[in-house]
Structure 1
Amino acid sequence: MNRSGHPAFHAAEAFLQAPRLAQALSTVSIAVSILATPIHKVIGWPGLIAIISGLVVLAVASLVARREELEWQALLPISLTLFLGWAATTVFWSQYQWATVGGLAYLAAYTAVGLYIALMRDTIQIVRAFGDVLRFVLVASLALEIFSGLLVDAPIPFLGIQGNLAEGGPIQGLLGTRNQLGIIAMLAAVTFGTELRTKSIQPPVAIASLALAGITMFFSRSPLIGGVIVILGAAIIALYLIRRISPARRTVAQITLLAIAAIGALVTWGFRARIVTMTNAGGELDFRLALWRQILDLVSLNSLEGWGWLGYWRAEISPFQAFTAIERVPYSGLNAYLDVWFQAGLVGLAIFIVLVGLAFVRSWLLAGQKRSIVYAWPALVLLVLLTSGLFESSLLVEYGWLTFVVCCVKAAHELSWRRAFASTALSDPRAA
């Protein structure tokens, strides 16, 4: 009997094609990417890998079942494909090849589920999925901090919660560190604000969610996200003004905005010493500067090709053993761009800068051109990820990478030069 005519086959196909599966799979994938740290701490790496592997299998099966709905042309942005390809190439000269294979598989898994979310869900559906997950994460984080810091007055070591709420923070929540919690709270604020403006949830719920994100940011006491908040606020104001300028004058406005941003970057660089002094709470920047100096010393040994892709650092592997002698053992370069240079070399860094630059420019142009405010969400989310990438490497793994892939693929599909070229060729009678 032909398997395609078997009732079980039809039932499986209907299950994999169901919109409810896409909704559930997207929400669970986002939740796992954000909560990867506590999941790993509770059930270990084997459990986390089993979960993400199951999600990948379901995502691939669902994509195959819905293959006729997909536009296969320009499925993946060329810049993203090039970066993944170069990262994979580093396995050939990596001094820790099996670890590189594992790191590449972990990167590929989050790329796959991020691609699935971008292809199967509309932008507003993606915003809602992120909103639901982020609300849960922030509520659970504050609940655990209240339990630890106020009710029992004791830390929760296996989750990284120090129980400092009674002293006004810093709190770590389910994210393990105050900086990661602060970044998640900023992403949540952008998401909740988008939900409020698009009226996709009840206004009281959206306003309460925004208050929740603000409270979390305040108690995280992260000394490193203040600048990101300022940049995000300036971007929101700029985007608000650009969306109200007539299309004929929008190009001039964008060029002016670019010039202002460049001047602002130069001024910031000129006052960098004073900024470092003002934001160096608890010696946090001193630790990062020492780490970055050590990374640059090692980068010079393999500056062009890098040491080999890894993702999360492993302290037992050379050359990462060299960092165990500093104040605390780092599990990343605490700078996404320096981390890419270290692991993938100058070639990888150049591809990565092109990748993130194209993704942000496309998202920003869409946010300024499209009528719906939902198109501002990818641009603002990318801004948070890219600026926080200056002091954290979360952009390269788990929730940071998944979110980046979602925004990158969505923007590339809306402004794809390959699709535009194909449409022009089809409409041109001389192409026949």
Structure 2
Amino acid sequence: MASTRSRSLVHLLATLTVFTAFAGQFWRNLLDWWGFGIIAGICILGAAVALAVLRPRLEGRRVPKALLAFVGLCTLSIAWSFYPAASLIGVGIQLGTAVTGVFLALCLSYAELIRALAAAFRWILVLSLLFEAWVAIVVRGPVLPFWVDYGEPPYPKAFYWSRGLLLDGGPIEGIVANRNLLGFIALLALLVFVVQLVEGTVRRGWAIFWVVVAAVVFALTRSTTVILALVVVAAALGFALWARSRGAERRRPVYLTAAASVVAVVVLLITLNGALLKLFGKSEDLTGRFDIWNAVIGLAQQRPVAGWGWMGYWAPWVEPFDGLAVRKGVTYLQAHNAWLDVWLQVGIIGLVIFIALIGSTLWRSWFAAVDRPRTGISDTDPYTARSLLPLLILAALLAQSLAESRILYEGGWMLVVALCIITKRAQYSAVEAPDAASAPVSSDSGRMR
């Protein structure tokens, strides 16, 4: 009974942690930064306590070196930071978020992690629909966040918590106050819910219901960024399934086709970018992103090797970020490209390490997805669907990273840390115990012993 209760508490903490990491703006708009800080602190402290009590062991060789190197460099950057106080805060937030990722990876089995993700995403999607319905039907007008004085109207669109456009077919912002973020959460939820449907871990009727809810929210956000992320995820899924069908010795056509596809897409984007942007209803400057990117590149070139110092989210009151990215009265707190943001903050050194971190995690996720578990499990075993999830989530994060920097903080960073550790653990499980299923591939009890 005590063990069941403790696992229930771990699941509850994991669900709250995932919810807070992805819906932090909900807490900030509802309870101000102080309320958000208290809830985020509870999640981080709870994760640390769970790690201390459960004491999951992780052998040195199973610790992702690139992850340690990147976090270590960000921490060391305080020493040469142009804004050391802000860097100290940013590194503290990064480390706290990393602790939650480690908690998800080591204190939950892979099946428990999927259930926690599904539960948190359900809450975000349902609350978003209810909130948008309340704004559209009861308020009948746009709603601003609580506790913030924006002065006299008119206000930029980005200032509103919701613009109340649900009955008009969107776009909706949901409780997270951003249609791109809500659309991305809906995409991740769709991946998780489909896996649960295929595996049969949730009753079929409910599983189909939640897939439909995620698809509806995804459509209502009308986010071009997330539509493109869906295309990338679909391509990753197609190539992974093709690689599975070919077997380990006959995959050269898969890799050649994938490489040719990447080249073709790059050429298409360069030659037809104007037409493509018009097709998706985007301005030629990608809604101001070109101006932000140019400003970030110019600043990064002033300190190209080690950067200006880690911060994560930009602090708009700190030089040189004060006024760096302002468009139509809105001050943006990110480079809207994770790779440029890393270069700006920790230089070429940090960018190389970050590429190694993401690349190694993607590499392990690919082989976890395409190589069958070495246990004689049949092709219809439900775990084969589960093994695709790390690859598809990373594909979505990578697609998002080209237009957003969210992979560097909050939910994005938490998932990167968790998947990095999970795939590293699975890699050694497959090597050391070829007759036992690895954690993200086929294990329901994948905690470290």
Larger helix proportion of the pair: 1
User: What code does the residue aligned with 2:427 have?
Assistant: L
Equivalence for 1:164: 165
> What is the aligned counterpart of 2:404 among 388, 392, 396?
392
Does the CA-based 8 Å contact 1:292-1:333 persist in structure 2?
yes
> What is the aligned counterpart of 1:366 among 365, 368, 371?
368
Matched, 1:72 2:59: yes
Give distance in 2, aligned partners of 1:62 and 1:139: 28
1:2-401 to 2 correspondences below 5 Å: 18-67=6-55, 69-74=56-61, 76-158=63-145, 160-249=161-250, 251-271=251-271, 272-281=273-282, 285-323=286-324, 325-327=326-328, 328-371=330-373, 372=383, 373-401=385-413
Write the deviation string for residues 234-279 of structure 1: whole angstroms up to 9, x where unpaired: 2222222222233332x42542344234333433343334323433
User: What code does the residue aligned with 2:69 have?
Assistant: L
Q: 1:276 to 1:302 in 2, by over 3 A?
A: farther
Matched, 1:411 2:398: no
Write the deviation string for residues 297-327 of structure 1: whole angstroms up to 9, x where unpaired: 1111111111111111121111111326532
Give distance in 1, aligned partners of 2:366 and 2:106: 20
Q: CA RMSD in A?
A: 2.4
User: What code does the residue aligned with 1:21 have?
Assistant: L
- Judge which range, 343-352 or 274-283, deviates more: 274-283
Give distance in 2, aligned partners of 1:58 and 1:226: 35
Write the deviation string for residues 151-201 of structure 1: whole angstroms up to 9, x where unpaired: 331222117111112222111001211111111111111111111111110
Does the CA-based 8 Å contact 2:94-2:312 persist in structure 1?
yes
Give distance in 2, aligned partners of 1:171 and 1:164: 6
Does the CA-based 8 Å contact 2:323-2:331 persist in structure 1?
no
Give distance in 2, aligned partners of 1:339 and 1:325: 16
Displacement of 1:63:
1.9
User: What code does the residue aligned with 1:256 have?
Assistant: L
Give distance in 2, aligned partners of 1:121 and 1:324: 40
Count of residue correspondences:
407
Q: 1:128 to 1:390 in 2, by over 3 A?
A: same
Write the deviation string for residues 198-253 of structure 1: whole angstroms up to 9, x where unpaired: 1110111111111111111111111222221212122222222222233332x425
Displacement of 1:87:
0.8
Displacement of 1:41:
2.0
Give distance in 1, aligned partners of 2:214 and 2:18: 18
Give distance in 2, aligned partners of 1:44 and 1:107: 20
- TM score, norm. by length of structure 1: 0.88
Give distance in 2, aligned partners of 1:405 and 1:344: 18
Q: 1:66 to 1:344 in 2, by over 3 A?
A: same
- Judge which range, 15-24 or 236-245, deviates more: 15-24
Give distance in 1, aligned partners of 2:289 and 2:167: 28
Does the CA-based 8 Å contact 2:62-2:428 persist in structure 1?
no
Identity across aligned pairs (percent)?
Answer: 27
Give distance in 1, aligned partners of 2:106 and 2:228: 33
Displacement of 1:136:
1.3
User: What code does the residue aligned with 1:287 have?
Assistant: G
Displacement of 1:129:
0.9
- TM score, norm. by length of structure 2: 0.85
Q: 1:165 to 1:58 in 2, by over 3 A?
A: closer
- Give secondary structure in 2 for the equivalent of 1:81: helix
Does the CA-based 8 Å contact 1:52-1:109 persist in structure 2?
no
Q: 1:120 to 1:257 in 2, by over 3 A?
A: farther
Give distance in 2, aligned partners of 1:216 and 1:73: 42
